[in-house]
Amino acid sequence: MSIDSKQTSIVADMSLAPEGHLKIDWVSAHMPVLNRIREQFERDQPFKGLKVTIALHLEAKTAYLAKVVKAGGAEVTITGSNPLSTQDDVCAALVEDGVSVFAKYNPEPKEYKELMIKALETKPDLIIDDGGDLVTILHSERQDLLSTIRGGAEETTTGIIRLKALEKQDALQFPMVAVNDAYCKHLFDNRYGTGQSVFDGINRTTNLVVAGKTVVVVGYGWCGKGVAMRAKGLGANVIVTEIDAIKAVEAYMDGFAVMSMMDAARAGDIFVTVTGNRDVIRGEHYEVMKNGAILSNAGHFDIEVNKPELAALSSNIRTVRRNIEEYQLKDGRSIYLLAEGRLVNLAAGDGHPAEIMDMTFALQAVALRYVNEQYEAIGRKVANVPYELDEQVARLKLEALGIAIDKLSDEQKAYLDSWTSHE
Ligand SMILES: NC(=O)c1ccc[n+]([C@@H]2O[C@H](COP(=O)([O-])OP(=O)(O)OC[C@H]3O[C@@H](n4cnc5c(N)ncnc54)[C@H](O)[C@@H]3O)[C@@H](O)[C@H]2O)c1
Ligand SMILES: N[C@@H](CCSC[C@H]1O[C@@H](n2cnc3c(=O)[nH]cnc32)[C@H](O)[C@@H]1O)C(=O)O
């Protein structure tokens, strides 16, 4: 581990910086919307004199977001949001770019938390969180760090569920903007981003064929829809499992087989959990799985696939390839778990494509500006990204793609606003 000269960063190895710079340059060339926001920030300096702490999967797209927030005048500190998704070369490059970094790949659980706390000890005015990790620390063991915080923005579905639980108890201490709930986030990031990056992670890790296999998608929310769609495109037979009757009907109408997890467990070759829940694949399911079944998670924590119950059925566990653990069951079968049951697209891949994170992180950037300007008016609440900002991101995306769309005429507007015109 190396500490930079001003002791404002903790990263694994500063000599990796050149590779990190190349990675950041590559993604920033494919993030036109965020580049436009960067120009606005350079001009307006919305964060001048403010400190911002970010906890996100610390790879190249995230690094570019940190640089954009810095370009807006902020002093930026960053930490990871998953022990296996931090890329050490990107961390080193960010330090050279003047961002304080407290992160390294695969730290011990205790150190992972300590790094996160160090990032908060800079006493930020604003935060960007992923899954509510920073918010949880600030509302539990480190309430002493709450006083400087004006507000923040949350990246993902599970984080917003947690924030709403805090808000309901009247315990949330500052406004948080629910970036995941913006259309330009979940419609594209959760669906097309997860759909593509999950198979990027699975395919590069296993080097096995998907066509002809049976892929079981556990949960048919925004992520599940994307994963099922891409599994079908790769030639798999797709089974969906759900606990929500409406989503189950939707999966059926979308052309997928829908069944209980117990039945799916018998049929599946590759399993992907995307529920944000716990124990969705567990002991009773392992009992009936095929020899050689492959398990992966792209939801939230590494508890969607119950690892202790899998270990209890096993006589031996060994790493057979980077990011693949073979659980050798006492009855002679083997079940393979990818990336220790952590997010397969980030722990065993590079995460979502740059063009997808372009929209997500453009929203993060404008949401941070919004909460800084409106934190007093919003109060201690979970706030939506205002529709105009969501639409602005979509318009910038269309502009970058060179796509024009139509405008309503005055007659059309009047017609749509009226309840009497029937012609
Ligand atoms: N890997 C990534 O890059 C990535 C991207 C976006 C979101 N996420 C995370 O993925 C998870 C899902 O996100 P989403 O936006 O799709 O959420 P969502 O709420 O739209 O969907 C979750 C679905 O899981 C279903 N579900 C819950 N428990 C289940 C169970 N036991 N069996 C079967 N289905 C069950 C729910 O009914 C729901 O339809 C969240 O934890 C989110 O934070 C991950
Ligand atoms: N703390 C959790 C976080 C779940 S993250 C889920 C979020 O990751 C985000 N994400 C997906 N790919 C990338 C990426 O490449 N860079 C940064 N964030 C990403 C995505 O927007 C999604 O909402 C954990 O233990 O892993």
DSSP-assigned letters across all residues of 276-345: S-S-SB-HHHHHHPPTTEEEEE-SSSTTSB-HHHHHHTEEEEEEEETTEEEEEETTS-EEEEEGGGSBHH
Residues 180 and 198 in one domain: no
Torsions phi, psi of 213, nearest 5?
-85, 165
Residues 99 and 156 in one domain: yes
- Alpha carbon of residue 230 to chain centroid: 18
Residues 219 and 113 in one domain: no
Residues 331 and 199 in one domain: yes
> Within a 10 A sphere around the Cβ of 331, how many other Cβ atoms?
9
Q: What is the pLDDT of residue 420?
A: 85
User: Is 410 inside any structural domain?
Assistant: no
Per-residue pLDDT of the chain (423 residues; tens, 9 = 90+): 544 445 699 999 999 999 999 999 999 999 999 999 999 999 999 999 999 999 999 999 999 999 999 999 999 999 999 999 999 999 999 999 999 999 999 999 999 999 999 999 999 999 999 999 999 999 999 999 999 999 999 999 999 999 999 999 999 999 999 999 999 999 999 999 999 999 999 999 999 999 999 999 999 999 999 999 999 999 999 999 999 999 999 999 999 999 999 999 999 999 999 999 999 999 999 999 999 999 999 999 999 999 999 999 999 999 999 999 999 999 999 999 999 999 999 999 999 999 999 999 999 999 999 999 999 999 999 999 999 999 999 999 999 999 999 999 999 999 999 988 666
Which protein residue has the closest C-alpha to ligand 2 atom 3? 131
Q: How far is the CA of 310 from the centre of ligand 1 (A)?
A: 22
User: Is 15 inside any structural domain?
Assistant: yes
What SS3 state is found at 129? Answer: strand
CATH number, domain with residue 292? 3.40.50.720
Q: What is the pLDDT of residue 7?
A: 61
Residues 390 and 264 in one domain: no
Mutation test of ligand 1: which of 223, 284, 300, 357 has the most ligand atoms closer than 8 Å to its C-beta? 223
Mutation test of ligand 1: which of 58, 129, 156, 217 has the most ligand atoms closer than 8 Å to its C-beta? 156
Closest CA to 385 of 182, 147, 129: 182
Residues 176 and 266 in one domain: no
User: Is 408 inside any structural domain?
Assistant: no
Residues 242 and 106 in one domain: no
CATH number, domain with residue 137? 3.40.50.1480
User: Is 412 inside any structural domain?
Assistant: no
* Max CA distance (Å), the chain: 74
For tokens 């926001």, name the residue.
Answer: 37
Q: How far is the CA of 225 from the centre of ligand 1 (A)?
A: 10
- Binding positions for substrate are 130, 155, 185, 189
Q: How far is the CA of 281 from the centre of ligand 1 (A)?
A: 14
Q: What is the pLDDT of residue 4?
A: 45
Which residues are CB-neighbours of 287 under 8 A, at least 6 positions away?
Answer: 313
Residues 293 and 318 in one domain: yes
* 163 contacts 150 by C-beta, under 8 angstroms: no
* Residues spanned by the domain of 369: 2-185+352-401
Residues 90 and 158 in one domain: yes
| ipTM reported for the complex, 2 dp | 0.99
> What total number of domains does the chain contain?
2
DSSP, residue by residue, 3-14: E-TTS--EES-G
Closest CA to 173 of 139, 128, 216, 209: 139
Degrees to nearest 5, angle at CA 39 with 35 and 43:
165
Q: What is the rounded distance in angstroms from the CA atom of residue 217 to the CA atom of residue 238?
A: 7
Which protein residue has the closest C-alpha to ligand 2 atom 4? 300
User: Is 68 inside any structural domain?
Assistant: yes
What SS3 state is found at 176? Answer: strand
Number of H helices, E strands in the chain: 18, 17
- Locate the ligand 1 atom nearest the alpha carbon of residue 299 and give its number: 10
User: Is 362 inside any structural domain?
Assistant: yes
Residues 224 and 251 in one domain: yes
Mutation test of ligand 2: which of 34, 59, 64, 81 has the most ligand atoms closer than 8 Å to its C-beta? 81
Residues 378 and 284 in one domain: no
User: Is 416 inside any structural domain?
Assistant: no
Residues 313 and 251 in one domain: yes
Q: What is the pLDDT of residue 329?
A: 98
User: Is 261 inside any structural domain?
Assistant: yes
